[in-house]
Structure 1
């Protein structure tokens, strides 16, 4: 019982979603397919685990390893909050916006991070934190949130559809969900915000210079 992370996710779905993948998915704002896959042996992404922990007061250590209690105490929750430091613990944070200036810091090997954010499970090789401006991904990611990014080299047409990515072209940077267009050679950028001012957009894949996986986000806490 609960020997694997997939078993533990199944237990949480049973407890908080009445055993129904669709109900649980709607509670944390992910697709039902993701919940089903993560229960059945697909390794869950960090932002999915973070959403579970934050939404249901789940002990992240229990979720990852099976050790300890499933539910966090208030003291345990405090220990799991993000912390900042100058001692290289965690992953680097740069006080720039992804919308503007982000390429400058990732291409400048002499630029030192402002500090490091220690917040498992985002302490991964190649991950950096920066700010997000704009409202197109609300309520999932809000204006002023800090996002964890990692560059991906897989061609965009082969990336999992429906996930959130940072897209860089020569003219702009944007954070959107993506899926392939019915037009050959194009990709569709999809905002989360359903307001009329934000709409889906199709751009040629050839325009895209870099792609970053958005692993997760946190509210600015400093």
Structure 2
């Protein structure tokens, strides 16, 4: 039994006294799926996302070896997204940029190394290497990210070889000559290696296939910060 199967089993026992039928009804799936997810079958992404939303449990808790869900509730000051190859840095000052003031993501990446003045710096201990941070706008990644949250990123070359499919990215996309900056999940496209599929967390936003030639800048999201109260 994997870590996530064990946690699904724990949720079923804690909230539904092990009743697969009751759990399945709340999750909008079949009783057979619940039985399988409590054992050895890896759940679908939609199921994991719904678990997070209904029970207010972070992805970090569901997908890692954390054992105490109380320490992994959503709404914490920050969430760190780490790859297995990531190396944590004890201390680093990550520049926070106003992307509108820098005339977009492409211009921001082009004028780095001191040429673009950050509005502030962020320090989080033991964070993976980050090149910068920006504020999120829009609701396409809600409820995982909401407008006003901060995402911290690592710049990448615009190459299919540099993409870890299934991870979250900051992208600059050329739409009829104008720059569209967005945060999305990136998946493989059914249209071939010249395309990627960008997927929103918000189910009201449809997935879209984008040609790689229209990707003008690309960065891997390494962490997010949410401010829950200004008082």
TM-score range, shorter chain: 0.5 to 0.7
Q: Distance in 1 between matches of 2:75 and 2:139?
A: 27
2:166 aligns with 162
CA shift, 1:194, in A, is 1.1
List runs of 5+ in structure 1 lacking aligned partners: 1-9, 40-47, 61-87
SS of the residue aligned with 1:96? coil
Which of 107, 110, 121 is equivalent to 1:107?
A: 110
Which of 179, 183, 203 is equivalent to 1:194?
A: 203
Question: How many residues are treated as equivalent by the alignment?
Answer: 169
Which of 199, 208, 217 is equivalent to 1:210?
A: 217
Q: Structure 1 residues 103, 155: CA separation in 2 closer, same or farther (over 3 Å shift)?
A: closer
Question: Does 2:97 align with 1:90?
Answer: no
- String of CA shifts for 1:155-176, please: whole Å, max 9, x gaps: 3356222211111233322211
Bigger Cα displacement from structure 2, 152-161 vs 165-174: 152-161
Question: Does 2:122 align with 1:117?
Answer: yes
SS of the residue aligned with 1:18? helix
CA shift, 1:107, in A, is 2.3
Q: Distance in 1 between matches of 2:9 and 2:102?
A: 36
- TM-score w.r.t. the length of structure 1 is 0.59
- String of CA shifts for 1:74-93, please: whole Å, max 9, x gaps: xxxxxxxxxxxxxx963111
Q: Distance in 1 between matches of 2:183 and 2:103?
A: 12
Q: Distance in 2 between matches of 1:91 and 1:57?
A: 21
Q: Structure 1 residues 167, 105: CA separation in 2 closer, same or farther (over 3 Å shift)?
A: closer
Question: Does 2:133 align with 1:129?
Answer: yes
CA shift, 1:214, in A, is 1.1
**Superposition RMSD in Å:** 4.2
CA shift, 1:54, in A, is 4.3
